[in-house]
């Protein structure tokens, strides 16, 4: 089958032919319908050889949707041809975190060498994907595969971060979304669907700010040296009850710190590598700072249910598998509006 692989440190990913996978006991083979392109892959492909955590070559793609092609020995409860979304942050399934469905925080994944598809295990940018266990599949139940595939990460990750902040996002509150890209443009819609908060979106690109307004941001602010002052002005000087940074570089974490309200919450979701100093006098009183990772199995079920209700409109641009390297180039250049989605069957 054809697959998009990251093969050499620092080089662009390549479309290659690899053996067709076959499901072993307990596994499920999917024919991939759609695979999402996440900025985290660009971060992975920028890491140096020293300390690189995964084996190469690595088939990319940690957002996946497909149809059941074959079941390994002992797997039941799934029908061939059934359309499913893949829960990506695979865990052991039995530790205390996994028992709560929080496989993203599995306590044993590292020790057992369990890796998510596309981030260690072979990913979804291929004609077929091996899924380690049927519990990592959620039925699409009528959702369009292209619109649904970004929800497995670009939807699930902000959903998890926003759900934690819900008690703060009461009427009259403000939520700030920094970076209105793949994750950010879904975050804006999640905030509108789940909270009465006023949503302020920041980005460096006018195109992204236009998309942010289209999908429900009440206010948009260009992310430049004046951004923090502009956001504070919009909140009458009080700041925002919740700030979601989907970039995570020095200037954006500085904005996040500068616009948080007393007792506010800052979620550093972007993996741009910047740190935010926490300590007395560094931030307004009692601001909470966290760096969440992906979401739980239950939360993916919830995000897909929310999409079925019609509350989410994910903006996508589709590419064939042969065009996938171009999709990464475009994402790197900042010219993808919403999420790029690869169609391995096209
Ligand atoms: P994306 O490229 O689609 O979106 C990033 C957006 O940020 C773009 O619209 C870009 O114009 C904007 N941006 C860049 N610099 C900015 C700045 N200084 N101020 C404001 N906006 C700026 O990327 P994505 O796929 O949505 O991923 C967003 C980030 O989240 C990445 O760092 C990614 O690695 C990370 N991520 C983290 C998790 C997690 O579990 N923590 C999960 C998925 C993605
Ligand atoms: Zn991702
Ligand atoms: Zn576990």
What pLDDT digit, counting tens, does each position of 306-323 carry? 999 999 999 999 999 999
H/E stretch holding 284 reads: none
- Is 195 in the same domain as 300? no
Nearest CA to ligand 1 atom 23: 39
Dist. CA 126–CA 115, nearest whole Å:
17
| CB-CB contact of 61 with 35 (8 Å) | yes
The total number of structural domains in the chain stands at 2
- The 174-178 sheet, strands edge to edge: 219-222, 198-203, 174-178, 240-245, 260-268, 288-290
Q: 254 is in which domain, residue-wise?
A: 156-290
Q: 61: CA distance to ligand 3 center in Å? A: 22
- Is 137 in the same domain as 227? no
Dist. CA 318–CA 327, nearest whole Å:
9
0.85 exceeded by pTM: yes
- Is 231 in the same domain as 275? yes
Q: Name the residue of 35, 36, 37, 39 to mutate for ligand 1: max ligand atoms within 8 A of Cβ.
A: 39
Q: What are 106-131's pLDDT values in tens digits?
A: 999 999 999 999 999 999 999 999 99
- Using the 3D structure, point to which of 245, 269, 290 is the last residue of a domain: 290
- Is 183 in the same domain as 305? no
Question: Does pLDDT of 251 surpass 90?
Answer: yes
- Using the 3D structure, point to which of 253, 270, 290 is the last residue of a domain: 290
For the CA of 40, the closest atom of ligand 1 is 34
Nearest CA to ligand 1 atom 30: 270
- Is 218 in the same domain as 182? yes
- Is 281 in the same domain as 304? no
- Is 127 in the same domain as 187? no
- Is 149 in the same domain as 161? no
Say if ligand 1 is within 6 A of residue 105 CB.
no
Say if ligand 1 is within 6 A of residue 210 CB.
no
Ligand number nearest CA of 98 is 3
Say if ligand 1 is within 6 A of residue 202 CB.
yes
Q: 127: CA distance to ligand 3 center in Å? A: 29
Q: Encoding tokens for residue 46?
A: 């920028």
Dist. CA 198–CA 172, nearest whole Å:
7
Beta-strand relationship, 219-222 and 198-203: parallel
Q: What are 23-39's pLDDT values in tens digits?
A: 999 999 999 999 999 99
């Amino acid at each position: 089958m054809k697959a998009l692989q990251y093969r050499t440190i620092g080089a662009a990913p390549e479309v290659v032919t690899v053996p067709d996978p076959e499901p072993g006991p307990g596994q499920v083979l999917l024919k991939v319908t759609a695979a999402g392109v996440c900025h985290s892959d660009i971060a992975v492909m920028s890491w140096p050889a020293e300390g690189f955590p995964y084996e190469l070559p690595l088939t990319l793609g940690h957002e996946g949707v497909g149809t059941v092609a074959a079941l390994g020995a002992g797997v039941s409860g799934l029908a061939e041809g059934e359309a499913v979304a893949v829960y990506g942050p695979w865990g052991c399934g039995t530790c205390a975190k996994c028992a709560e469905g929080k496989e993203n925080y599995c306590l044993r994944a590292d020790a057992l060498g369990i890796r998510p598809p596309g981030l260690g295990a072979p990913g979804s940018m291929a004609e077929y994907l091996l899924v380690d266990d049927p519990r990592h599949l959620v039925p699409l139940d009528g959702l369009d595969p292209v619109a649904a595939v970004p929800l497995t990460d670009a939807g699930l990750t902000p959903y998890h971060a926003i759900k934690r902040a819900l008690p703060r996002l009461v009427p009259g509150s403000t939520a700030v979304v920094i970076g209105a890209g793949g994750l950010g443009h879904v975050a804006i819609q999640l905030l509108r669907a789940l909270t009465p908060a006023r949503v302020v979106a920041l980005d460096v690109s006018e195109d992204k700010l236009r998309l942010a307004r289209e999908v429900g941001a009440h206010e948009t602010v260009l992310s430049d040296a004046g951004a923090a002052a502009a956001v504070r002005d919009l909140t009458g000087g009080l700041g925002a009850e919740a700030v979601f940074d989907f970039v995570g570089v020095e200037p954006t974490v500085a904005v996040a710190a500068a616009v948080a309200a007393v007792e506010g919450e800052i979620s550093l979701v972007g993996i741009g590598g910047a740190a935010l100093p926490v300590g007395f006098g560094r931030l307004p009183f009692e601001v909470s700072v966290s760096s969440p990772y992906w979401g739980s199995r239950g939360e993916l079920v919830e995000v897909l249910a929310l999409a079925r209700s019609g509350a989410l409109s994910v903006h996508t641009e589709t590419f064939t598998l042969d065009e996938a390297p171009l999709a990464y180039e475009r994402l790197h250049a900042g010219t993808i509006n919403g999420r790029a989605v690869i169609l391995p069957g096209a």
